[in-house]
């Protein structure tokens, strides 16, 4: 497939205007053609109005029709898989094997939501029949179901060019819920976005659906996304990215004349607590697992372990030394964008300059312009608790080892944490008392807690929670991964004393 350098607004290719931009090959730092234009205010307005105009027709479809549409998108992505993976690898520097896995995850997500549409799980119908004899007042017939909230703005994520971008989890869950979607593509992978958007538009046409249910708009900067979230037609937002970006969208959404919810997944430092017996029994295995989880895809996962906490002991020191040794051998890899690379290096410098942080190890430094070296630092619990900056996420393969004097200090570290996507405990039988105390704290802090494992590799299923108290996400009651994600874009509606001829099919009879 040829990349045309186009957005797609309700199925129509649109070139956009200044400022133009193009992708960069992260391996070489060189620009990749073609140029893409940015959406004008009129482009964004058109995309949003078309989404609004298509909403009633789209949400009125039988759930099975929406399921067929999601399936059709998955099939078209699969048909274009080779082009998409090649293009995405060039734009992101991620290996084709990783992207092929991500593509399977993307089509898998679409099919999971399609399957959910075959059950009552999404509409949550609830019916209570009338009781005319009830005293003191008759009970009315009351029936409730969920409907889509309306058009949803979705932001592509740089680190998941497929699974959290144009046809990713936010888009799939919103479309499943009956909500039209306007995607703001991530400027780091515009050609990948165009290819996937064309797959979606082809599915829209093939399924005979109104073209307004899907648009892709581009923008070199932040203005287009801001205008999208501020648009009166937009009723909800799905975002995966930085804390600064997510908070900016939350502020725009809250300042609207009619405020809307924002579902921003803003990352996390994903604390890992290593309890004494686990360190004694499994410190080599733990160190190996840690390094793999920390450095996969150049550490560019929101769930990679940014801080590891242990109690001072010979075993902890051995673990730290082994982790440092293993990290030293980690090959360099290109980061997604020059900006992410610069932010990572700045984060390393902040830690290196911190008076209470010592440098533990550094991985190989590559020769590419965006290549990053993994890094390990050490500090003590008192310093970590005293300085909130040490708990800031540094997106990439950097991690901080925090030494506690005793289990009580471990609890203090846990209490000092902000909201997290995940928290991990490594614990064996004799660690259970400490593990329970920590668990009580971590349940308040995280959306997912892992025992004797690693936080990366987010399973996509009904039991997954990918979210957590602020700043892990903007609303800790939601999940961005798994079928629970659909609930973000649904709202309940009750029908009182309705007759069958006016009731929606899932509530009649």
Choice from 96, 108, 211, 261 touching a copy of itself (CB under 8 A): 261
Any contact of residue 190 with a copy of itself (CB under 8 A)?
no
Give the separation between CA 109 and CA 46, rounded to whole angstroms: 28
Choice from 337, 447, 480, 486 touching a copy of itself (CB under 8 A): 447
Any contact of residue 475 with a copy of itself (CB under 8 A)?
yes
Any contact of residue 108 with a copy of itself (CB under 8 A)?
no
105-132 burial: b if 16+ Cβ within 10 Å, else e? bbbebbbbbbebbeeeebbeeeeeeeee
Convert 233-251 into a string of H (helix), E (strand) and C (coil). Answer: CCCEEEEECCHHHHHHHHH
The stretch among 31-39, 204-212, 364-372, 445-453 that binds a copy of itself (CB under 8 A) is 445-453
The stretch among 20-28, 213-221, 342-350, 431-439 that binds a copy of itself (CB under 8 A) is 431-439
Any contact of residue 139 with a copy of itself (CB under 8 A)?
yes
What residues from 217 to 236 belong to the interface with a copy of itself (CB under 8 A)?
Answer: 235
> Which stretches of 44-121 are assigned E, i.e. beta strand?
none
Which is nearer to a copy of itself, 144 or 328 (by Cβ)?
Answer: 144
* Nearest one of 485, 440, 509 to 129, comparing CA atoms: 509
Could you tell me the two tokens for 434? Answer: 């400490």
**Cis upstream peptide for 29 (omega within 30°):** no
Q: Could you say which DSSP state residue 166 is in?
A: T
Choice from 62, 64, 79, 128 touching a copy of itself (CB under 8 A): 128
Any contact of residue 401 with a copy of itself (CB under 8 A)?
no
Say how far residue 487 (Cα) sits from the centre of its chain.
15
Give the separation between CA 193 and CA 161, rounded to whole angstroms: 8
Residue 413 beta carbon to a copy of itself: minimum distance, rounded to whole angstroms:
17
Beta bridge partners of 278: none
Residue 470 beta carbon to a copy of itself: minimum distance, rounded to whole angstroms:
5
Any contact of residue 505 with a copy of itself (CB under 8 A)?
no
Choice from 2, 42, 136, 355 touching a copy of itself (CB under 8 A): 136
Q: Could you say which DSSP state residue 18 is in?
A: E
Could you tell me the two tokens for 231? Answer: 């648009």
Any contact of residue 367 with a copy of itself (CB under 8 A)?
no
Query: Does residue 475 contact residue 263 with C-beta atoms inside 8 Å?
Result: yes
Give the separation between CA 509 and CA 505, rounded to whole angstroms: 8
Any contact of residue 259 with a copy of itself (CB under 8 A)?
yes
Choice from 18, 208, 258, 500 touching a copy of itself (CB under 8 A): 258
Could you tell me the two tokens for 357? Answer: 């942080």
Point out the residues that are catalytic: 265, 302
Choice from 353, 499, 500, 509 touching a copy of itself (CB under 8 A): 499
Any contact of residue 461 with a copy of itself (CB under 8 A)?
yes
Which is nearer to a copy of itself, 136 or 355 (by Cβ)?
Answer: 136
Number of residues that bind a copy of itself (CB under 8 A): 72
Any contact of residue 435 with a copy of itself (CB under 8 A)?
yes
What residues from 317 to 356 belong to the interface with a copy of itself (CB under 8 A)?
Answer: none
Give the separation between CA 177 and CA 463, rounded to whole angstroms: 19
What residues from 66 to 105 belong to the interface with a copy of itself (CB under 8 A)?
Answer: 101
Could you tell me the two tokens for 229? Answer: 């979230």
Which is nearer to a copy of itself, 2 or 497 (by Cβ)?
Answer: 497
387-417 burial: b if 16+ Cβ within 10 Å, else e? beebbebbbbbbbbbbbbeebebbbbbbebb
Which is nearer to a copy of itself, 137 or 367 (by Cβ)?
Answer: 137
Residue 264 beta carbon to a copy of itself: minimum distance, rounded to whole angstroms:
10
Give the separation between CA 302 and CA 233, rounded to whole angstroms: 30
Any contact of residue 490 with a copy of itself (CB under 8 A)?
yes
The stretch among 161-169, 180-188, 305-313, 440-448 that binds a copy of itself (CB under 8 A) is 440-448
Any contact of residue 365 with a copy of itself (CB under 8 A)?
no
Inter-axis angle of helices 96-116 and 169-176, to 10 degrees? 20
Residue 485 beta carbon to a copy of itself: minimum distance, rounded to whole angstroms:
11
Which is nearer to a copy of itself, 75 or 418 (by Cβ)?
Answer: 418
Any contact of residue 408 with a copy of itself (CB under 8 A)?
no
Q: Give me the 272-291 binding string for a copy of itself, x by CB under 8 A, dash otherwise.
A: --------------------
Cα 115 to Cα 67, 111, 119: the distances in Å are 7, 6, 7
Choice from 55, 113, 164, 319 touching a copy of itself (CB under 8 A): 55
Query: Does residue 44 contact residue 3 with C-beta atoms inside 8 Å?
Result: no
Any contact of residue 254 with a copy of itself (CB under 8 A)?
yes
Measure CA of the first residue to CA of the last residue in the chain; give whole Å.
49
Any contact of residue 406 with a copy of itself (CB under 8 A)?
no
Could you tell me the two tokens for 494? Answer: 């009750």
* Nearest one of 107, 100, 237 to 172, comparing CA atoms: 107
Residue 229 beta carbon to a copy of itself: minimum distance, rounded to whole angstroms:
14
């Amino acid at each position: 497939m040829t990349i045309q350098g186009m957005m797609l607004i309700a199925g129509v290719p649109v070139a956009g205007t200044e400022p133009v931009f193009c992708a960069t090959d992260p391996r070489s730092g060189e620009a990749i053609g073609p140029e893409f234009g940015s959406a004008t205010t009129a482009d964004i307005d058109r995309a949003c109005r078309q989404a609004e105009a298509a909403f009633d027709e789209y949400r009125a479809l039988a759930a099975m029709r929406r399921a067929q549409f999601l399936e059709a998108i998955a099939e078209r992505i699969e048909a274009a898989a080779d082009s998409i993976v090649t293009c995405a690898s060039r734009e992101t520097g991620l290996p084709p094997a990783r992207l092929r896995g991500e593509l399977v995850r993307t089509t898998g997500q679409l099919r999971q939501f399609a399957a959910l549409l075959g059950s009552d799980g999404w509409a949550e119908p609830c019916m209570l029949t009338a009781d005319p004899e009830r005293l003191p007042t008759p009970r009315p017939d009351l029936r409730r179901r969920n409907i889509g909230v309306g058009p949803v703005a979705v932001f592509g994520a740089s680190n998941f060019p497929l699974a959290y971008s144009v046809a990713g989890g936010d888009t799939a869950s919103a479309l499943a819920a009956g909500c039209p979607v306007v995607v703001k593509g991530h400027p780091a992978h515009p050609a990948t976005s165009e290819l996937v958007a064309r797959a979606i538009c082809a599915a829209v046409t093939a399924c005979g659906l109104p073209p307004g249910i899907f648009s892709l708009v581009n923008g070199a900067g932040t203005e287009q996304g801001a205008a999208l979230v501020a648009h009166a037609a937009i009723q909800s937002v799905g975002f995966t990215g930085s804390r600064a970006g997510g908070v900016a969208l939350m502020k725009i959404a809250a300042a609207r004349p009619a405020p809307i919810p924002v579902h921003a997944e803003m990352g996390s430092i994903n604390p890992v607590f290593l309890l004494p017996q686990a360190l004694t029994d499994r410190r080599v295995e733990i160190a190996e697992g840690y390094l793999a989880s920390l450095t996969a895809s150049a550490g560019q996962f929101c769930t990679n372990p940014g801080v590891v906490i242990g109690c001072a002991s010979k075993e902890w020191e051995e673990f730290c030394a082994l982790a440092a040794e293993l990290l030293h051998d980690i090959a360099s890899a290109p980061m997604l964008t020059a900006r992410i690379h610069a932010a990572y290096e700045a984060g390393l410098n902040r830690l290196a300059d911190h008076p209470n942080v010592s440098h533990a190890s550094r991985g190989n430094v590559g020769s590419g312009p965006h290549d990053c070296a993994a890094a390990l630092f050490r500090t003590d619990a008192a310093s970590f608790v005293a300085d909130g900056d040490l708990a800031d996420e540094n997106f990439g393969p950097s991690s901080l080892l925090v030494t506690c004097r005793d289990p009580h200090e471990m609890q203090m570290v846990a209490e000092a944490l902000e909201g997290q996507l995940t928290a991990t405990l490594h614990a064996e039988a004799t660690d259970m008392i400490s593990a329970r105390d920590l668990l009580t704290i971590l349940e308040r802090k995280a959306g997912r807690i892992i025992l004797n494992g690693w936080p990366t590799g987010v399973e996509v299923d009904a039991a997954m929670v990918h979210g957590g108290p602020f700043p892990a996400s903007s609303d800790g009651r939601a999940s961005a991964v798994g079928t629970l994600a659909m609930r973000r874009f649904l709202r309940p509606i009750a029908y009182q004393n309705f007759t069958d001829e006016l009731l929606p099919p899932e509530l009649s009879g």
